[in-house]
Amino acid sequence: MEYIYIGKIVNTHGIKGELRILSDFKYKDRIFRKGFNIYIGKDKIKETITSYRHHKVFEMICMDGYNDINEVLKYKGENVYILKSDLILNKDEYLNSDLVGLNVYVDNKNIGIVKRIDKYPAHDIIVIKGISREYMVPYVKEFVNEIDLGNKKIIINNIEGLI
């Protein structure tokens, strides 16, 4: 089973067992919903979401079987995960972790491999480790032409000054 980190429980909210999760996960709308299973802490304790709402910068959830603040305090400060197999993505959607290690091509020339994906408010940035330097490419459809997980490659458009 492969787990995906989706956020951290930073606090409780109210007295009825609601939890505040700080998450920058890309596909929140698919996981923060009633009936979805999450896994909490390093032991990956399975819990089921019974209610969800967004409040300020937090994802607020209640879980099955918890109705009191004292029952959920044990989860404060814990990381939250989901099973990768539970997340349903469309054909053209990818997790950032799936892109790390892929070869990057511009004009049929390998310029390096994806080192990491950095998060910025406007959009993510693909950091590519090249032979002599690192490249930073905005992770938007205007720059990223094709992602092929099967062949482990990303094809990006050659825009003057980018590479």
Tell me how far apart the alpha carbons of residues 3 and 107 are, in angstroms, rounded to a whole number: 35
Q: Note the pLDDT of residue 60.
A: 98
The DSSP 8-state label assigned to residue 135 in this structure reads E
Closest among 137, 119, 120 to 128, alpha carbons compared: 137
Closest among 137, 86, 131, 127 to 112, alpha carbons compared: 131
Give yes or no for residue 161 having a pLDDT over 90.
Answer: no
Q: Model confidence over 63-72: pLDDT tens digits?
A: 999 999 999 9
Phi, psi of 41 (to 5 degrees): 80, 180
Phi, psi of 77 (to 5 degrees): 90, 0
Could you give all domains of the chain from N- to C-terminal order, each with its CATH number?
Answer: 3-86 (2.40.30.60), 96-156 (2.30.30.240)
Q: Model confidence over 121-134: pLDDT tens digits?
A: 899 999 999 988 99
Q: Note the pLDDT of residue 158.
A: 86
Q: Note the pLDDT of residue 92.
A: 86
Phi, psi of 28 (to 5 degrees): -60, -35
Q: Which contacts qualify for 109-114: CB closer than 8 Å, 24 or more apart?
A: 111/135, 111/163, 114/154
Mean of per-residue pLDDT scores for the chain: 95
Task: Give 25: exposed, middle or buried? Use CB within 10 Å, 0-12, 13-18, 19+.
Answer: buried
Q: Note the pLDDT of residue 160.
A: 82
CB 96 within 8 A of CB 102: no
Q: Grade residue 159 by pLDDT with cuts at 50, 70 and 90.
A: confident
Helix (H) or strand (E) segment spanning residue 28? helix 28-31
Tell me how far apart the alpha carbons of residues 116 and 124 are, in angstroms, rounded to a whole number: 10
β-pair type (125-129, 134-138):
antiparallel
pTM above 0.85, yes or no: yes
